[in-house]
Structure 1
């Protein structure tokens, strides 16, 4: 769909940035990014955000099933523009006509079958082996221009800032919740088995290691049931 004119672009991006920072959750932020992409990037019919970690592709948000199906096709093929972007740390890619594209022989036929005519991708984040990318699709070929790419890059740059803030906020909330859960579980173990705080934490940690379950999940189980495998033997 047509994007905003040049005079309105700066205002639209500023408005988007404020909107992203106002989202309450990380998922809300991801969903807002893809909807803004459809609204702002000329020629964009569908947008999605995926992550690639150790060769595994996962769809984080999409405005249409087409984006999720494209992600799945790349995962099944083990190749595609997003894989190349991961290996090369490529910030932007653009496929003008999927009908004449020949770089990914296992993925491209599936993309054509899905009805993808053109495609662009913009890196949103990288950490360790984890890539996050915003992918923009058109059902027609040769619809993305240099201006479309520039607007997409600007949008992705603004979105990356909002997404980084959302991820940090989510990590902080997770850390606080984890500390609260563990603290409650330690108190329960201390009371039930008459041990000191360090011993109670050791009991929880050992149960986590023995069961191969995250410490927070062990703590939640203790808080909900009052029971923990191995607690009596560990407290002696």
Structure 2
């Protein structure tokens, strides 16, 4: 996206942005202009969301991976796009426990900003926080999407393996990008809210069913419990860098061969 820029130029330009320089018009400004063009050129929700996470990785390079959470009116959460399988896994754990930054961002009034600088030093989420830290994620930050009054449509989520990896300027850039993403989604008329909810609900139920089948196969064949079976699926997903539901589907469809 955009012309090649040296690391020194990026650092200097980010500093000017943070200082609110009135003449700010460097490579970061060009990047945001390009992001706006790309997002508004998306004709479907899926296309816009794919462009959102791609842009997020470019604009906030200190984020190791990014995802988008969508919340249907019925309360069903899904992750339609992500840059890494671990992001999908961390999101799914939040949906299961009903706690974590992306879930909280859909409930938080005002700007809908939720983050923790170092999960190893404590977390407001007693189940999700320690699990994320064990997976190697140390700092998190989520930006709620529209509308301003909860419950929101969803959230834009950033994960970093480094403590304080998403502090200061990175958060400012994430907030700006969240506004771009919300505007682009609001302008997309490819699906109605009812169609989006139906698609999300269908995906969630199908995923839950196939993961349950895969866990059952592992429990029966290896004589293990449900938690151990899920951990095998989770680690395999992470090792292969594919979605957890894809690992489960592969196991269910090819159980006679594996």
Shorter-chain TM-score above 0.5? yes
8 Å CA contact 2:68, 2:157 repeated in 1: yes
8 Å CA contact 2:62, 2:160 repeated in 1: yes
| TM-fit CA distance, 1:72 | 0.9
1:170 to 163, 186, 191: 191
- SS of residue in 2 equivalent to 1:137: strand
Q: Any idea what the Cα deviations from partners look like across 1:98-138, whole Å, max 9, x if unmatched?
A: 11123111111211122211111111223874531000111
Map of 2:51 onto structure 1? 32
Gaps of 5+ in 1: 175-236
Separation in 1, partners of 2:123, 2:192: 40
| TM-fit CA distance, 1:95 | 1.3
Q: Any idea what the Cα deviations from partners look like across 1:157-189, whole Å, max 9, x if unmatched?
A: 1121112112x24339x7xxxxxxxxxxxxxxx
Map of 2:175 onto structure 1? 153
Deviates more, 1:68-77 or 1:90-99: 90-99
1:21 to 26, 32, 40: 40
Equivalenced residue count is 171
Map of 2:99 onto structure 1? 79
Separation in 2, partners of 1:130, 1:102: 23
Map of 2:137 onto structure 1? 116
Q: Does 1:65 align with 2:79?
A: no
1:1-236 → structure 2 map (5 Å cutoff)? 4=10, 5-6=13-14, 7-53=26-72, 54-89=74-109, 90-126=111-147, 129-166=151-188, 168-171=189-192
Separation in 1, partners of 2:61, 2:167: 8
- SS of residue in 2 equivalent to 1:51: strand
Cα gap change, 1:55 to 1:109, in 2 (>3 Å)? farther
- SS of residue in 1 equivalent to 2:164: coil
Cα gap change, 1:55 to 1:100, in 2 (>3 Å)? farther
Separation in 2, partners of 1:138, 1:22: 29
Q: Which is strand-richer, 1 or 2?
A: 1
Which structure would you say has the larger Rg?
A: 1
Deviant stretches of 4+, over 6 Å = none
| TM-fit CA distance, 1:55 | 4.5
Separation in 1, partners of 2:101, 2:172: 19
